[in-house]
Structure 1
Amino acid sequence: MDLAQNFENGSLGEAIKCIEMHTTGEPTRIIYSGFPCLQGTLLEQRDEAMNQYDHIRKRIMLEPRGHYDMYGAILTPETELVRQGLAHIGTLFTHNGGFSTMCGHATIALGRFLVDTHDLKVFPKRNELRFNPETCEVAVNIHAPCGLVRVTVPTSSDGQKSDPSRPVSFLSTPAFAAGINLEIPIPKEVRWPELGPRESITLDISYGGAYYALVDVRELGFTGLKKIDLGAISNAASRLKTYLMTHPLVTSALQHPEDSRLSFLYSVMVVDREVGSRPEGVDGVETGLCFFADDEIDRSPTGSCVTARMALAHAKNLRSIGQKWAYNSIVSNHFGTGAFVASIVDDSVRVGDSKEAVIVRVEGKAYYTGTSNFILEEDDLTGESGFTLKQCVQ
């Protein structure tokens, strides 16, 4: 039996086809074929994927095909913004716990892939991309669940292939601070050992396509992010996130002015403003450790949270238009490369009737790691919907 040929013709089951990439070590599994066709607006497609096809999301993300910290992007060629001519393609972002509304590291990876593919079955509007011969860049408009994300991809001299030596950048959807200097009491049943005798912490809530709780690492009782006990800080972040999701001050801050489906706490970002690998040409640097979804840890600096952090810093009068700031993860600090560089390009926008917001440019590099074809054989109960080892021992 020619196993490879059977993968191609589907005799082992319908294949789900993927491109594998990473951005500062954080994976992006781009699903370009084999996921069920979704209908309606992009947020309606997200609802349909969650309600009807979550078992397929688990099959792609979790073991035995993925792992606990896998991340994915499902291409959706038809959305309302694509039909209106505003976007070239849509995407749904997915992880170990479900579907997100925005993801910066995946957007950076998608930008490269959408320039590099010339398969119109995968990307029907590929030939509509505009090439700037002076800068050797191509503009790609991606419809994410949070809105329109405008991506700029550096290319070869003819615009036919992305240039991995230069960073991809994107302009965010409007970002805003939602809750500043919130004092949150921590009850005894929630506390973690490093918190000590403290009975409350101070944190911020900010939106960058998803809502983030931003807390200084020292507020949690740790000395910094340079050398950390990952298990201990993960325990603290997990306890804190679960508690914050029902705390009245936080839930009040999480009310998106335009769509209630965006009104949820996506992540706790632990911040250390005293450390970070510093690329050239930036005015400052900091490091963050992002806990999102079901206790998943982002290896990258987290592009949507970089957007949220810039919006928060602007609201606190700490960041001005054009000022460049570098954001690191523990991975980029380890390797000395991979920081995301961000700057505010517009502070005159509003969300809803009155909420002041900013547009942020975020740039970073993504790289290819391979391709995958996933199938499901008959009677494979273990691999049908995916699993995590944690589930097997509970």
Structure 2
Amino acid sequence: MSTELTLQLIDTHAGGDVSRIVIGGISRLPGDTVREQMHYLRDDADGLRKLLLNEPYGIPEMSVDLLVPATLPEAQAGYIIMEVMGYPIYSGSNTICTATAVLESGLVPKQEGRQRFSLESPAGLVQIEAQVRDGVVESITCEGLPSYIHTHNASINVPGIGRVNYSVAYSGGFYALVDAAELGFSLTREEERALNDCAFAIVEALQAERGFSHHTLGDVGPLPFLHFMGPVDQIADNFYRSRSTTYVHPGVICRSPTGTGTSARLALMHHEGRIRAGDKLETVSLRDTGFIGEMTGTHSSGTRSSGTCPSGTHESGTHQMVENTITGRAYVLARSEIVINCDDPMVECSGLRHILTSG
């Protein structure tokens, strides 16, 4: 008889975006850091991502986070993020979900009130602050990656749409930022399909025309994200709100406004002189869920990528890096064990079996 192959999961969501947290069933991955373990998973074991994001186990609109042992002594756990576009080094919604899962699973014991701990993402150490009341995790505040504007107020001709104005931010991935009203959108749920089609065309045009180079990482791949920006309303002193929609290439409209999308918005608003340290922006999704981003400070980078330079090259200069935090809440949807049947014609076990603990 063959050995039964299983994975242990905690399904969560933050703002509507479902993150499947893999808490058991995967053997220890090679690599001295979580970033190196991510590279191994991407290059030698992509079957896990494909299994959990495709039929019959999942759908591309979900995300997967694999818990791994931390390699940094300050961190209580490590995690690797998997999405339809691949392996982002950071994600706000996935971090909120993972932080909630490690508390709910007991990996990090809950403490009543304000609780601080650290996780290790592929981007490095992430500081977490949880608010726990009566044993319930009511909110997670996590560090966003320092974010900056790579390209400001450029335009591109998009087939079927025409001339589109955009800016590009880096906040864990490169984001094209576009004004929703200029493209005829009010950012309502009824527009979801049209938003997807519009974003697909813009991202395809951008990827065909140019590459984007990170100021220290160099070539991090084609631009994968587009963020539709609604009008910004001032709700109170130092507090703003804006409807927002994030698209992930190819073909996914996020349910939440996304943490990295919110960080990108903060970078753009600071670049345009519209916010300063201490200001907060609540981004609100098509489903009326929200994350709150706070600009906490700035620092200067050592190099700057030109808006027209080819991917992988750099120019001297500085970027204003916007330091920020993202606050949201995650909910546990299910605790489950799934059975992987490699005899099932709909299940592809290549790129997977060698990392299963019972494989």
In the alignment, which residue of structure 2 is the partner of 1:384? 348
Corresponding position: 1:245 with 2:207 = yes
Structure-2-length-normalised TM-score:
0.85
The structure 2 residue matched to 1:113, chosen from 101, 104, 119, is 101
SS at match of 1:68: coil
Letter in 2 for 1:317: G
After superposition, residues 216-227 of structure 1 pair within 5 angstroms as: 216-220=179-183, 222-226=184-188
Is the 2:148–2:322 contact (alpha carbons within 8 Å) kept by the matching residues of 1?
A: yes
The structure 2 residue matched to 1:24, chosen from 15, 28, 47, is 15
Q: Name stretches of at least 5 consecutive residues in structure 2 with no aligned partner.
A: 304-316, 351-359
In the alignment, which residue of structure 2 is the partner of 1:182? 154
Residue 203 and residue 343 in structure 1: after superposition, are their counterparts in 2 closer, same or farther (change >3 A)? same
In the alignment, which residue of structure 2 is the partner of 1:392? none
| CA displacement 1:165-217 (0-9 Å, x = unmatched) | x321112221111111012233xxx22xxx3xxx4211010111111111111
Letter in 1 for 2:227: M
The structure 2 residue matched to 1:317, chosen from 260, 269, 273, is 273
- Aligned-partner Cα distance in 1 for 2:265–2:60: 26
Letter in 2 for 1:245: Q
Is the 1:95–1:293 contact (alpha carbons within 8 Å) kept by the matching residues of 2?
A: no
SS at match of 1:380: coil
Corresponding position: 1:270 with 2:219 = no
In the alignment, which residue of structure 2 is the partner of 1:5? none
In the alignment, which residue of structure 1 is the partner of 2:294? 343
- Aligned-partner Cα distance in 2 for 1:236–1:111: 33
Q: Name stretches of at least 5 consecutive residues in structure 1 with no aligned partner.
A: 1-9, 333-337, 387-394
Is the 1:58–1:385 contact (alpha carbons within 8 Å) kept by the matching residues of 2?
A: no
> RMSD in angstroms over aligned alpha carbons?
2.6
- Aligned-partner Cα distance in 2 for 1:364–1:74: 20
Letter in 1 for 2:194: A
In the alignment, which residue of structure 2 is the partner of 1:42? 34
In the alignment, which residue of structure 2 is the partner of 1:260? 218
Superposed displacement of residue 48, structure 1: 1.2
| CA displacement 1:35-73 (0-9 Å, x = unmatched) | 342222333222211121112211112111111311111
Corresponding residue pairs, total: 336
Residue 78 and residue 170 in structure 1: after superposition, are their counterparts in 2 closer, same or farther (change >3 A)? closer
In the alignment, which residue of structure 2 is the partner of 1:58? 50
Is the 1:12–1:377 contact (alpha carbons within 8 Å) kept by the matching residues of 2?
A: no
Residue 239 and residue 141 in structure 1: after superposition, are their counterparts in 2 closer, same or farther (change >3 A)? same
Residue 149 and residue 330 in structure 1: after superposition, are their counterparts in 2 closer, same or farther (change >3 A)? same
The structure 2 residue matched to 1:154, chosen from 107, 124, 131, is 131
The structure 2 residue matched to 1:284, chosen from 227, 240, 263, is 240
Richer in strand (by share): 2
Is the 1:59–1:65 contact (alpha carbons within 8 Å) kept by the matching residues of 2?
A: yes
Residue 215 and residue 109 in structure 1: after superposition, are their counterparts in 2 closer, same or farther (change >3 A)? same
The structure 1 residue matched to 2:329, chosen from 362, 365, 370, is 365
- Aligned-partner Cα distance in 2 for 1:372–1:96: 22
SS at match of 1:213: strand
Letter in 2 for 1:347: T
Superposed displacement of residue 265, structure 1: 1.4
Superposed displacement of residue 18, structure 1: 0.7
Corresponding position: 1:375 with 2:339 = yes
In the alignment, which residue of structure 2 is the partner of 1:294? 250
- Aligned-partner Cα distance in 2 for 1:280–1:114: 34
Superposed displacement of residue 317, structure 1: 0.6
Residue 266 and residue 149 in structure 1: after superposition, are their counterparts in 2 closer, same or farther (change >3 A)? farther
Residue 364 and residue 351 in structure 1: after superposition, are their counterparts in 2 closer, same or farther (change >3 A)? farther
- Aligned-partner Cα distance in 1 for 2:224–2:243: 19
Is the 2:29–2:40 contact (alpha carbons within 8 Å) kept by the matching residues of 1?
A: yes
- Aligned-partner Cα distance in 2 for 1:369–1:168: 17
Is the 1:62–1:96 contact (alpha carbons within 8 Å) kept by the matching residues of 2?
A: no
Superposed displacement of residue 342, structure 1: 1.5
Superposed displacement of residue 22, structure 1: 0.6
SS at match of 1:37: coil
| CA displacement 1:261-297 (0-9 Å, x = unmatched) | 645412011121168xx98886221111111042111
